[in-house]
């Protein structure tokens, strides 16, 4: 069995920089009905075509009046007004308010001309058409000015922002019915290995079920992308090359799992240079060393370790930022925070960055790692730390910086 | 205009407890193909029907051998073996290993009988069928034992857990093809108010676009539920009652927006007691005071403020836990953490809990609040704090406890 050692291993952060610098972001756009935009990435900065509120209105239930006429009002010396009408939210008052007059207004009702404030219900008493106000009311009190919330021309959403309920609501408020978003990133997933059978088949002797497609596919979909799970490719360099070339048609990236190391049957290191320009092979990270990448016409072709944990671990620190870039998000997917390490860890291997998956709970990070081949190592891991190599054992309680994955991927 | 004051306001946390104690969790289940289960709530605890690995195998590329035969090996005194074969991942070795023999194995290959360890490639040299091992190899080194990752009968996912990529992968690994999940919670959204027009219509004088349906609907969908956006109901108690009763058929909850306060046209406080048993009306929270709830046959009917910010603000602290309960999730949706307040806030109103929406960035929380009527107050808010009433102004830099919302809802 022929094996060649890895050459010099590349620093994982440098590998990430290389990937991000050459990966071509999606340029496809689509226009969606507003409600369907949830979680999508905005493709065009939208400015409000109108002012909200469109008219000066009451922002509380109460009585519209001239604020200066409440000067000096007190519990024992209330300001008195004639009640000359009542306005519900959809109604206007037909004439300007005269001195000494007040109009009952419901929240949202247009303010009568002449009125400049609303005495809120709780601060008043009314009986037989007479309103008593027990405190001075400031000008503008309980009034929403035209454009106070959204000015005409104000930016509502920016290119690259994720559409949240609040953003969708603000677009709807100004009458937008559709929203332009970037197309979902399309990733082809190609497992490689003679020993692999699709997960719905029963493995024979020496065979194992392929399920990196399931894991990575869910990961990609959970981050807004589309994944095409291809059937496993055999250990045949021509066939692998043909399958990668096919997959590059119609996809923005191809992620191959397995065959990424330096063994005789690891064909990817020989195939990738034929498909595109090599970016790296071999990273100084654990797990995840046997990772390689090439770029072909702005499309990234990745070779990932077949070990499920190594593969998903790479997804955390390497593929999330890659998806973020290709999806054109301007808001980071990974959220940085500091937690306390719940059990001792280390020392870390010299020369290698360690990826430490963690389950977060009440400010503590519980390591979940059970070895690079373990399927369950990352189950329940909602965050990870990257620990530099050659560092002494970290004690329980030690604060460490982690990156949190959003649900449903973390 | 007739108005009646609120009675005694209920503490918001008590209101939440009441809601959670009576809301009936969904009992519908559905069986989905595994890849479609992403982000859904597991309805049945699943134990592994088999052991993974199914056979003892190499977990690194290297040479399978008897570890005791490497005792005392050193750079200048390597242990020597006869190479008697090579195994790829899918192949087995036909006979037991004899003393002094080694077999080249690729990662994943079944370990030959008699071998108990793998000398990893980097620690060896091979030439002309002779293998030299330069360090002693421990028993079990680079070997994955049968069942080491997943024992037969081991729990893979528990009822109430969210299906993440790692959990989907582990189910796929043991041959599960489908997964049983709880049905999505079904919420009917009913706006109430004569002044409301659907968002795709141009408002006339005094009218405004209804968009709480858009915001809340996105919120519900972003948290795994289904929302039915109903057209606005007019200010007519019989019609509102009829619409609520209709909506209760086929939905798990009905959330009414608008008409929840104490004004003449606020009909909900009169309608809800006819529909179900009242839980509360009026909360000591700002924004969000005019909130009421009833329960009808385990189904919650909520009256929410029509003010967009009050409405969405309630969604944060009241409706997220409610959805979490009804969806039967065992993992909390809101993630607690401590951040520093990026600008001074307060003092808080005596007797009222304040909801403070925040945009989080690098461990700082930036208040986004712009008033209860402001559509844009919660745009960009990915978290919120609940501040007790009657507290002095909080200085910039002060650590505060916040709850973070998951994307895409935060």
Report chain A residues whose CB lies below 8 A from the CB of B363: 336-338
> B335: which strand partners?
B404
Three-state DSSP state, B326:
helix
> A285: which strand partners?
A353
Which member of A5, A209, A373 has the closest CB to residue B144?
A373
HEC string for chain A? CCCCCCCCCECHHHHHHHHHHHCCCCCCEEEEEHHHHCCCEECCCEECCCCECCCCEECCCEEEECHHHHCCCECCECEEEEEEEEECCCCCCCCCCCCCEEEEECCCCECCCCCCEEEEHHHEEEECCEEEECCCCCCCCCEECCCCCECCCCEEECCCCECCHHHHHHHHHCCCCEEEEECCCEEEEEEECCCEECCCCCCCCCCEECCHHHHHHHHHHHCCCEEEECCCECCCHHHHHHHHHHHHCCCCEEEEECCCCCCCCCCHHHHHHHHCEEEEECECEECCCCCEEEEECCEEEEEECCCHHHHHHHHHHHHHHHHHHHCCCCCCCCEEEEEEECCCECCCCCCCEEEEEEEEECCEEEECCCCCCCHHHHCCCCEEEEECCCCCCECCCCEEEEEECCCCCC
Closest to A35 in 3D by CA, of B381, B117, B228: B228
What are the φ and ψ backbone dihedral angles of B39, each rounded to 5 degrees?
80, 0
Whole-number pLDDT of residue A90? 79
Q: Please provide the average confidence, as pLDDT, over all residues in chain B.
A: 94
B310 touching A, CB under 8 A? no
Q: Determine, yes or no, domain membership for B4.
A: no
The helix (H) or strand (E) run that includes residue B226 is strand B226-229
* Cα nearest neighbour of A156 on chain B: B376
- Edge-to-edge strands of the sheet including B186-191? B226-229, B186-191, B253-257, B299-304, B292-296, B277-281
CA distance linking residue B398 with residue B391, whole number of Å: 13
Whole-number pLDDT of residue A376? 77
A222: left (phi over 0), alpha (psi -120 to 50) or beta: alpha
Distances (CA, A) of A4 to A173, A261, A395, B395: 63, 9, 38, 61
Tokens coding B109: 């290959």
Q: Determine, yes or no, domain membership for A2.
A: no
Mutate to test the interface with B, among A64, A93, A120, A206 (most CBs of B within 10 A): A206
The C-alpha of B145 sits at a distance from chain A's nearest C-alpha, in angstroms, of 11
A164 and A294 fall within a common domain:
no
* Cα nearest neighbour of A212 on chain B: B169
Three-state DSSP state, B213:
helix
Other residues' Cβ atoms within 10 Å of the Cβ of residue B14? 12
Report chain B residues whose CB lies below 8 A from the CB of A199: 34, 172-173, 175, 177
Whole-number pLDDT of residue A61? 86
Q: Where residue B298 falls among pLDDT bands split at 50, 70, 90?
A: very high
Q: Determine, yes or no, domain membership for A89.
A: yes
Q: Where residue B369 falls among pLDDT bands split at 50, 70, 90?
A: confident
Q: How big is the CA angle at A393 (ends A392 and A397), to the nearest 5 degrees? A: 130
A83 and A103 fall within a common domain:
yes
Q: Determine, yes or no, domain membership for A111.
A: yes
Whole-number pLDDT of residue A7? 80
Closest to B88 in 3D by CA, of A191, A407, A193, A117: A193
A373 and A239 fall within a common domain:
no
Whole-number pLDDT of residue B335? 92
The C-alpha of A19 sits at a distance from chain B's nearest C-alpha, in angstroms, of 23
Sign of the CA dihedral running A99, A102, A108, A112: negative
- CATH for A310: 3.40.980.10
Whole-number pLDDT of residue A5? 67
Report chain B residues whose CB lies below 8 A from the CB of A212: 169
* Cα nearest neighbour of B53 on chain A: A208
Interface contact flag, A89 B221, Cβ < 8 Å:
no
Interface contact flag, B149 A375, Cβ < 8 Å:
yes
8 A C-beta contact, residue A233 and residue A191: yes
The C-alpha of A7 sits at a distance from chain B's nearest C-alpha, in angstroms, of 12
Q: How far apart are the first and last CA of chain A?
A: 39
CA distance linking residue B209 with residue B197, whole number of Å: 5
Report chain B residues whose CB lies below 8 A from the CB of A371: 59, 144, 148-149
Mutate to test the interface with A, among B35, B107, B124, B333 (most CBs of A within 10 A): B107
CA distance linking residue B235 with residue B243, whole number of Å: 12
Q: Looking at B287, B308, B327, which one is the last position of a domain? A: B327
B198 and B292 fall within a common domain:
yes
Report chain A residues whose CB lies below 8 A from the CB of B202: 175
Q: Determine, yes or no, domain membership for B123.
A: yes
Q: Determine, yes or no, domain membership for B6.
A: no
Window A:146-185, CB contacts with B under 8 Å = 148-150, 156, 162-170, 172-173, 175, 177
A408 touching B, CB under 8 A? yes
Mutate to test the interface with A, among B165, B307, B355, B407 (most CBs of A within 10 A): B165
**pLDDT tens for each residue of B88-142:** 877 889 999 999 999 999 888 999 999 999 999 888 999 999 999 999 999 999 9
- CATH for A171: 3.90.105.10
The C-alpha of B219 sits at a distance from chain A's nearest C-alpha, in angstroms, of 5
Q: Which residues, in sequence order, are CB contacts of B95 under 8 Å at separation 6+?
A: B112, B113
**Residue B50 scores a pLDDT above 90:** yes
Sort A197 into a burial class: Cβ within 10 Å, 0-12 / 13-18 / 19+. middle
CA distance linking residue B182 with residue B187, whole number of Å: 15
What are the φ and ψ backbone dihedral angles of B316, each rounded to 5 degrees?
-60, -60
Interface contact flag, A374 B148, Cβ < 8 Å:
yes
Three-state DSSP state, B367:
strand
Whole-number pLDDT of residue B3? 55
Q: Where residue B388 falls among pLDDT bands split at 50, 70, 90?
A: very high
Q: Determine, yes or no, domain membership for A63.
A: yes
B346 and B361 fall within a common domain:
yes
Report chain B residues whose CB lies below 8 A from the CB of A170: 375-376, 379
Whole-number pLDDT of residue B371? 62
The C-alpha of B20 sits at a distance from chain A's nearest C-alpha, in angstroms, of 22
> B283: which strand partners?
B10
B204 and B245 fall within a common domain:
yes
Window B:64-93, CB contacts with A under 8 Å = 86, 88-92
Which member of A52, A173, A222 has the closest CB to residue B165?
A222
Mutate to test the interface with A, among B60, B94, B230, B375 (most CBs of A within 10 A): B375
Closest to A33 in 3D by CA, of A164, A171, A154: A171
Window A:27-56, CB contacts with B under 8 Å = 34-35, 38-39, 52-55
Q: List the beta strands (DSSP E) in B282-388.
A: 285-286, 292-296, 299-304, 335-341, 353-361, 364-367, 383-387
Walk along chain A (410 residues) and give the pLDDT tens digit of each residue. Answer: 555 567 899 999 999 999 999 999 999 999 999 999 999 999 999 999 999 998 999 988 899 999 999 999 999 999 999 999 999 877 889 999 999 999 999 888 999 999 999 999 888 999 999 999 999 999 999 999 999 889 999 999 999 999 999 999 999 999 999 999 999 999 999 999 999 998 888 998 889 999 999 999 999 999 999 999 999 999 999 999 999 999 999 999 999 999 998 877 899 999 999 999 999 999 999 999 999 999 999 999 999 999 888 999 999 999 999 999 999 999 999 999 999 999 999 899 999 999 999 999 989 999 997 765 577 778 889 999 999 999 999 999 999 999 999 999 99
Q: What sections of B103-236 are H helices per DSSP?
A: 165-173, 212-222
CA distance linking residue B407 with residue B21, whole number of Å: 27
The two beta strands, A285-286 and A353-361, are parallel
* Cα nearest neighbour of B407 on chain A: A406
Interface contact flag, A195 B363, Cβ < 8 Å:
no
Total of domains in chain B: 4
B22 and B72 fall within a common domain:
no
Q: Looking at B299, B327, B355, which one is the last position of a domain? A: B327
Q: Looking at A95, A118, A144, which one is the last position of a domain? A: A144
8 A C-beta contact, residue A111 and residue A143: yes
* Cα nearest neighbour of B92 on chain A: A206
Q: Determine, yes or no, domain membership for A410.
A: no
Whole-number pLDDT of residue B255? 98
Residue B134's domain comprises 57-144
Report chain B residues whose CB lies below 8 A from the CB of A362: 336
Q: Give buried/exposed letters for A28-49 (b at 16+ CB in 10 A, else e).
A: eeeeeebbbbbbbbbbeebebe
The C-alpha of B167 sits at a distance from chain A's nearest C-alpha, in angstroms, of 6
Interface contact flag, B206 A55, Cβ < 8 Å:
yes
* Cα nearest neighbour of B201 on chain A: A175
* Cα nearest neighbour of A41 on chain B: B408
Which member of B55, B164, B203 has the closest CB to residue A409?
B164
Whole-number pLDDT of residue A3? 55
Which member of B35, B55, B193 has the closest CB to residue A217?
B35
Q: What is the CA radius of gyration of chain A?
A: 31
B334 touching A, CB under 8 A? no
8 A C-beta contact, residue A294 and residue A281: no
B389 touching A, CB under 8 A? no
Whole-number pLDDT of residue A122? 82
Q: Which residue is it, tokens 């949240």? A: A164
B139 and B189 fall within a common domain:
no
Per-residue pLDDT averaged across B215-236, rounded?
97
Per-residue pLDDT averaged across B308-336, rounded?
95
- CATH for A134: 2.170.190.11
B72 and B84 fall within a common domain:
yes
Which member of B165, B199, B216 has the closest CB to residue A409?
B165
* Cα nearest neighbour of B287 on chain A: A60
ipTM: 0.92
B339 and B196 fall within a common domain:
no
* Cα nearest neighbour of B170 on chain A: A375
Higher pLDDT pick, A217 / B3: A217
Tokens coding B128: 């002309």
> A64: which strand partners?
A103, A118
**Residue B203 scores a pLDDT above 70:** yes
Report chain B residues whose CB lies below 8 A from the CB of A370: 149
CA distance linking residue B92 with residue B84, whole number of Å: 13
B178 and B255 fall within a common domain:
no
Whole-number pLDDT of residue B5? 67
Q: Where residue B2 falls among pLDDT bands split at 50, 70, 90?
A: low
> A357: which strand partners?
A384
Cis peptide upstream of residue B408 (ω within 30 degrees of 0): yes
B94 and B41 fall within a common domain:
no
Which member of A91, A156, A175 has the closest CB to residue B209?
A175
């Amino acid at each position: 069995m022929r094996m060649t050692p890895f050459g010099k291993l590349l620093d994982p952060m440098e590998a990430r920089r290389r990937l991000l610098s050459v990966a071509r972001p999606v340029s496809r756009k689509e226009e969606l009905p507003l409600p369907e935009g949830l979680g999508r990435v905005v493709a065009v900065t939208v400015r409000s075509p109108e002012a909200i509120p469109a008219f000066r209105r009451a922002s509380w239930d109460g009585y519209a009046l001239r604020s200066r006429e409440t000067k000096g009002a007190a519990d024992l010396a209330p300001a008195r007004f004639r009640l000359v009408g009542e306005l519900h939210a959809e109604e206007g008052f037909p004439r300007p308010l005269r001195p000494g007059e007040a109009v009952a207004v419901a929240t949202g009702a247009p303010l009568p001309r002449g009125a400049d404030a609303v005495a809120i219900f709780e601060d008043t008493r009314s009986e037989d058409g007479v309103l008593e106000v027990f405190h001075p009311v400031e000008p503008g009190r309980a009034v929403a000015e035209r454009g106070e919330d959204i000015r005409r021309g104000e930016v509502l959403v920016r290119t690259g922002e994720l559409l949240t309920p609040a953003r969708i609501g603000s677009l709807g408020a100004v009458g937008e019915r559709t929203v332009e978003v970037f197309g979902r990133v399309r990733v082809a997933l190609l497992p490689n290995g003679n020993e692999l059978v699709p997960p719905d088949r029963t493995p024979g002797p020496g065979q194992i079920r392929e399920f990196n497609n399931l894991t990575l596919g869910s990961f990609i979909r959970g981050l807004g992308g589309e994944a095409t799970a291809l059937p496993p490719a055999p250990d045949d360099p021509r066939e692998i090359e043909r399958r990668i070339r096919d997959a590059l048609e119609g996809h923005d990236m191809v992620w191959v799992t397995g065959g990424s190391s330096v063994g005789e049957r690891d064909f990817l290191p020989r195939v990738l240079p034929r498909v595109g320009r090599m970016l790296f092979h071999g990273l100084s990270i654990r797990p995840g060393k046997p990772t390689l990448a090439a770029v072909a016409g702005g499309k990234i072709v990745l070779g990932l370790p077949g070990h499920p944990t190594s593969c998903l671990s790479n997804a955390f620190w390497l593929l999330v930022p890659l998806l973020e870039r290709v999806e054109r998000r301007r808001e980071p997917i990974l959220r940085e925070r500091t937690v306390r390490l719940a059990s001792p860890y280390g020392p870390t291997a010299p020369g290698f960055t360690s990826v430490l998956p963690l389950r977060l709970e009440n400010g503590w990070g519980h390591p979940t790692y059970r070895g690079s081949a373990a399927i369950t190592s990352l189950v329940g891991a909602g965050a990870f730390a990257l620990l530099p190599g050659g560092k002494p054992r970290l004690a329980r309680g030690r604060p460490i910086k982690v990156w949190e994955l959003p649900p449903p991927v973390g």
